[in-house]
Amino acid sequence: MTIAAEPRTANGRETASGKMDRWEVIIIGAGLSGMYQLLKLRELGFKVHVYEAGDGVGGTWYWNRYPGARFDSESWTYGFSFSDELLKEWNWTEHFSPQPETLRYCNFVADKFDLRRDITFNARVKAARWDEPANEWEVVFEDGGRARARFLITAIGPLSAPTMPTIPGVENFKGEAYHTGLWPHHPVTFAGKRVAVIGTGASGVQTITEIAKTVGHLTVFQRTPNWCAPLRNSKIDAKTMEEIKANYNQIFARCRDHYGCFIHDADPRNAVDVTDEEREAFFEKTYNTPGFAFWQGNFRDVLVDKRANDLMTDFVIRKIRARVKDQKIADKLIPTNHGFGTRRVPLESGYYEVYNQPNVKLVDLRETPIERITEKGIKTTDAEYEFDMIIFATGFDAITGAFDRIDIAGRGGQKLRDKWADGPHTYLGLQIEGFPNMLTLVGPHNAATFCNIPRCIEQNVDWVTDLLKYMRAKGLQRVEAKPDAEAVWTQHVHDTAARLLLMTVDSWMTGVNKNVAGRQKRTFVAYAGGAPKYRQKCEEVVAQGYEGFSLA
């Protein structure tokens, strides 16, 4: 069994094989952040080039083409805001865009700004080494090609290193096998097939709900149930799209002020202070509002005060019980080890009702763990199941995983993997002491991870662009975070997260992945101070002449 998206012909430059390219700036990754960074630096006349592992643009939306993949952000808050023309020309057809449409959007952006001419596709970066005497980075590709540049910008995404489960025999299965994050480009059908899904995170929930519509028989292997909330997607008609276009300024201004750049403002009241009737009515209202309203637009104390969180959790338990007919199955679907919203909340469109179908079975791995994967299927402690297909919705080595998969060596040959062995250390989530001239878009400890991500990508890219412009104007050739600035920021990241209930739970947000060695201990890999505070800090650093950075 091998799981890999098939490489296809590059539609930009050919692969890097055998070449030694030289640029001022190398960007790794042609997702949204890499594309926008390319555009900004090219506009300023930098000699900049993007290397991308896939054969097309789109990053997350290129790789995650599993059935049911779609936004949890309102489409019209997600698109780039930097170009009025782009905003006028692009029409979203659904309030929460499905993956094919989002990938079309990424391609539309690439075409509109003629980005492909500066992108090499099918070029996976294997290593990156800081060459101190030359004051530049050398990157090495899997096919042996190399490239050098003064600056290295990573645009490699927070959830881009898929992980397979460490179940014995996982390589032995002879049927169809797919990881949601490496979904193949060819059509996959489910009718008449016996399909297994392992994993019930956001990807699993979307996949399960979609394939249940056509599958012969579906078996879901659930280790930890997650709290889900309804997405409540709908189509956007032409008139509504015109109204959205007329309101983009207000929409983006509202995102700008929000903790995670969404449109769901938390209610100023505490859940514990209102009457039972008021609380129930507000829970009901937010549960019935599309998108992340129930999670993010709820009472202000639900994610920090256990008493308030218990009330919210109780409300959702009642919803699940009402939607699932067999209460024994409902028992299995109701999380018992964490409260609502303390892990990333999958948004669903009929997920719970799937378990009312006669051709769907839920296997609770807490009761009957998987012993091994066989040639024909999956063996748990109490049964042996045969399948035509196994879908691994087993997630990612989040945030730092994509960095670890590149052998990055900085000043004095120090490995980034070693520096981050006990969790990331960064300055602003954008730079790392010991790794001069490397900038990390959407990196660990950066507000972008908890963000409606393009909103924070634009901030990250604009900030990096201004830095490079400033350095060029001043004749500076090297930037590196000072150790004390990095230590203070890293401590601030942890202090800010400490009050959150999510810090008491294992999840990719707390850096835990049971399938990856060295990821068993909780740390904090994102930034929990919120996007407005983060932006303000970045602006203050600039106003103080790039305080905390050594510039030479």
Q: Give 340-385 as a DSSP string.
A: TTSS---EESSHHHHTTSTTEEEEETTTS-EEEE-SSEEEESS-EE
508 forms part of the interface with ligand NA7 (CB under 6 A): yes
Kindly report the backbone phi and psi dihedral angles of residue 206, in degrees, each rounded to the nearest multiple of 5, phi listed first: -65, -45
Q: Give 160-183 as a DSSP string.
A: -SB-----TTTTT--SEEEEGGG-
Q: Which positions ≥6 away from 421 have C-beta within 8 Å? A: 518
Print the binding letters for residues 332-361 with ligand NA7: x by CB under 6 A, - otherwise: ------------x-----------------
In which residue are the tokens 């890219």 written? 461
Q: Kindly tell me which of 181 and 436 has the beta carbon lying closer to ligand NA7.
A: 181
453 forms part of the interface with ligand NA7 (CB under 6 A): no
159 forms part of the interface with ligand NA7 (CB under 6 A): yes
Q: What type of residue sits at position 128?
A: A
The strand order across the sheet containing 370-373 reads 370-373, 377-380, 384-386
Q: Kindly tell me which of 365 and 551 has the beta carbon lying closer to ligand NA7.
A: 365
Q: Given the rule CB under 6 A, which of 19-27, 28-36, 194-202, 493-501 is the region that contacts ligand NA7?
A: 194-202
Site for ligand NA7 (CB under 6 A): which residue of 395, 423, 436, 530? 395
Q: Give 312-334 as a DSSP string.
A: HHHHHHHHHHHH-SSHHHHHHHS
32 forms part of the interface with ligand NA7 (CB under 6 A): no
Q: Given the rule CB under 6 A, which of 10-18, 49-57, 392-400, 491-499 is the region that contacts ligand NA7?
A: 392-400
Site for ligand NA7 (CB under 6 A): which residue of 58, 79, 165, 548? 165
365 forms part of the interface with ligand NA7 (CB under 6 A): yes
In which residue are the tokens 């609380």 written? 279
459 forms part of the interface with ligand NA7 (CB under 6 A): no
Residues 54-93 that bind ligand NA7 (CB under 6 A): none
CB 369 → ligand NA7: shortest distance, Å?
8
Distance of CA 482 to the CA centre of its chain: 28
Report the alpha-carbon distance of residue 75 to residue 77 in Å, rounded.
Answer: 5
Count of residues near ligand NA7 by CB under 6 A: 23
CB 165 → ligand NA7: shortest distance, Å?
3
Q: Kindly tell me which of 271 and 362 has the beta carbon lying closer to ligand NA7.
A: 362
CB 513 → ligand NA7: shortest distance, Å?
7
377 forms part of the interface with ligand NA7 (CB under 6 A): no
167 forms part of the interface with ligand NA7 (CB under 6 A): yes
CB 342 → ligand NA7: shortest distance, Å?
12
CB 81 → ligand NA7: shortest distance, Å?
21
Q: Kindly tell me which of 201 and 410 has the beta carbon lying closer to ligand NA7.
A: 201
Residues 248-287 that bind ligand NA7 (CB under 6 A): none
From the CB of residue 40, how many other CB atoms can be counted at a distance below 10 Å?
20
Whether residue 55 contacts residue 7, with contact meaning beta carbons closer than 8 Å, is answered with yes
- Of the candidates 116, 91, 94, 118, the one whose C-alpha atom is nearest the C-alpha of residue 105 is 91
Report the alpha-carbon distance of residue 388 to residue 496 in Å, rounded.
Answer: 47
Site for ligand NA7 (CB under 6 A): which residue of 208, 302, 393, 525? 393
Kindly report the backbone phi and psi dihedral angles of residue 157, in degrees, each rounded to the nearest multiple of 5, phi listed first: 80, 150
Whether residue 471 contacts residue 479, with contact meaning beta carbons closer than 8 Å, is answered with yes
Q: Kindly tell me which of 179 and 193 has the beta carbon lying closer to ligand NA7.
A: 179
Whether residue 57 contacts residue 436, with contact meaning beta carbons closer than 8 Å, is answered with no
467 forms part of the interface with ligand NA7 (CB under 6 A): no
Residues 214-243 that bind ligand NA7 (CB under 6 A): 221, 223-224
Instruction: List interacting residues with ligand NA7 (CB under 6 A).
Output: 159, 165, 167, 180, 198-204, 221, 223-224, 344, 365, 393-396, 508, 514-515
